[in-house]
Amino acid sequence: MTKILEVNNLQVDFHTYAGTVHAIRNVSFDLAKGETLAIVGESGSGKSVTLRTIMGLLAKNGKVTNGEILFNGKDILKKSERELNAMRGNDISMIFQDPMTSLDPTMPIGKQVAEVLRIHGDVSKKAAMDEAARVLELVGINGAKERLKDYPHQFSGGQRQRIVIAIAIINNPQILIADEPTTALDVTIQAQILELLKELQTKIDTSIIFITHDLGVVAGIADRVAVMYAGKIIEYGTVDEIFYNAQHPYTWGLLESMPTLETNSARLHAIPGTPPSLLNPPKGDAFAARNAYALQIDTEQQPPFFKVSDTHYAATWLLHPDAPKVELPPEIARRRKIWQKMNPTTSKEAE
Ligand SMILES: Nc1ncnc2c1ncn2[C@@H]1O[C@H](COP(=O)(O)OP(=O)(O)OP(=O)(O)O)[C@@H](O)[C@H]1O
Ligand SMILES: [Mg+2]
C-alpha cells in the first residue's frame, strides 16, 4: 500500500502566559492511499492541533519543536507559505470543526464553491459554475443548478455542512481532513453526513482523516483508528482491533462510554477524572491518575508501544511480559469474546 502521508515524531508546543503547553508529544502515524483514518480522544487531547499542523495552520503562538510530516515523501514543515497555499484546498483539504462559520453569509453558494476552483486552476466562470453545480449535486444538494444563487441562510444546517464539503472536495484533494464535522448537528443529520463522507470516498478516491471524540461514530466509516490522550497516540489499529481487542485502559474507557443497543444512555459510563495539564505533563503514563489498572511503573516511566499485531500497537505497561494478568471490565471482556470468535487461531494464546 502506498503511504500518502507519514507523520514522524511530531512535537508541538504553545507559548502562553502560564508557560509552555506541550500539546503534541511525539506523535507518529501514517495514511495509505484511499484509506480512512479516525483519530479519537477526549477534548484537549491534541486532535485538532495535529491536523492543523499538517495543514500548516498552526496558531501564531505554536511551534513545531520536532518531527516531520511527509506528504508524498516531501516534508510539509519545510514548505514555504506559498507552497502551503498551493497545497491547501488543492492537495489537502480540511473541513473545519464549526461548519456554520466557514461559509460567507453574503455570497451566493454557487459563487463560493466555484471560486475555490478558480483560485486553484484556470477555468472559465461558466465552467466553474457548472462544476460547482455538479459537485453540490454529488454531496446531496438536490436541484443544485437552480440553487446556485441562494445564500447560506436559505439552507438547513445539514445542507450547509454539505456545501462546506463540496468546497473541500471540488479540487479532488488527495487527502480530506474532517475535524469533527458533525458536533453542531443533530444525530440523524450527523449520520447522513458521515454516510456522505464514506460514499464520497469511493466516488472521488481520496484518503480521509476524520477526527471525533466519539468512538461510536467511527465504526461505519473508518478503516483504522488512532486513539489520542494528552498529546500522544496511545493505541492504534484496525477498526476491529480497536473495537474488539483494545489493550489500553483508556481505549477501554472510551469503548465503555459508547452507547450500545443493550445499554441505554442512562447507564452510560464516563471515564472518571480529567486529563492532566499539558503545561507539566506527568512523568509516566499520562492516564495513570485516572487508570484503575495502573501499575507502579505507570507513574514513573512512559510506556513504549507494544506490538499486538502487524497493524495494532498500544502504549500500556499492561502488555509488558512481566505485567500481572488483569480482569477485564465486563464490556471489554464481552468484546474480547467476539474477537476470539472472529479470530479463532490467532487469539488462542491470549486466553
Ligand atoms: N493557540 C493555543 N495556545 C495555547 N494552547 C493551545 C492552543 N491551541 C491548542 N492549545 C492546547 O493544545 C491542546 C490540544 O488542543 P486541541 O484543540 O488539539 O484538542 P482537541 O483534541 O482537538 O479537542 P476538542 O475535542 O475539544 O476539539 C489543548 O490542551 C489546548 O488547550
Ligand atoms: Mg478539536
- Give the DSSP per-residue string, 72-102: TTEEGGG--HHHHHHHBTTTEEEE-S-GGGS
Residue 102 has pLDDT above 70, yes or no: yes
Among 118, 153, 171, the domain boundary falls at 171
Nearest CA residue ID for atom 17, ligand 1: 48
The model's pTM: 0.92
Whether 268 is covered by a domain: the verdict is yes
β 232-238/74-75 pair status: unpaired
Highest mean pLDDT among 176-190, 210-224, 237-251, 334-348: 237-251
Q: Is the CB of 23 under 6 A from ligand 1?
A: yes
Whether 117 is covered by a domain: the verdict is yes
Average pLDDT, the chain: 89
Among 171, 186, 206, the domain boundary falls at 171
pLDDT, average across residues 235-257? 95
Distance of CA 308 to the CA centre of its chain: 22
State the pLDDT at residue 318.
Answer: 97
State the pLDDT at residue 305.
Answer: 97
Whether 21 is covered by a domain: the verdict is no
Assess whether 258 and 345 both reside in one domain.
yes
Judge whether 164 and 196 are in contact, CB under 8 Å: no
pLDDT per residue as tens digits for the range 170-192 = 888 999 998 876 555 666 666 77
State the pLDDT at residue 67.
Answer: 98
State the pLDDT at residue 31.
Answer: 97
Residue range(s) defining the domain that contains residue 133:
102-171
Q: 141 C-alpha to center of ligand 1: Å?
A: 33
Q: 161 C-alpha to center of ligand 1: Å?
A: 23
State the pLDDT at residue 32.
Answer: 95
pLDDT per residue as tens digits for the range 14-44 = 999 999 999 999 999 999 999 999 999 988 9
State the pLDDT at residue 123.
Answer: 85
Whether 153 is covered by a domain: the verdict is yes
Whether 88 is covered by a domain: the verdict is no
CB atoms within 10 A of CB 325: 6
What's the total number of domains in the chain?
Answer: 2
Whether 31 is covered by a domain: the verdict is no
pLDDT per residue as tens digits for the range 44-60 = 999 999 999 999 999 99
pLDDT per residue as tens digits for the range 271-286 = 889 999 999 999 999 9
Q: Is the CB of 21 under 6 A from ligand 1?
A: yes
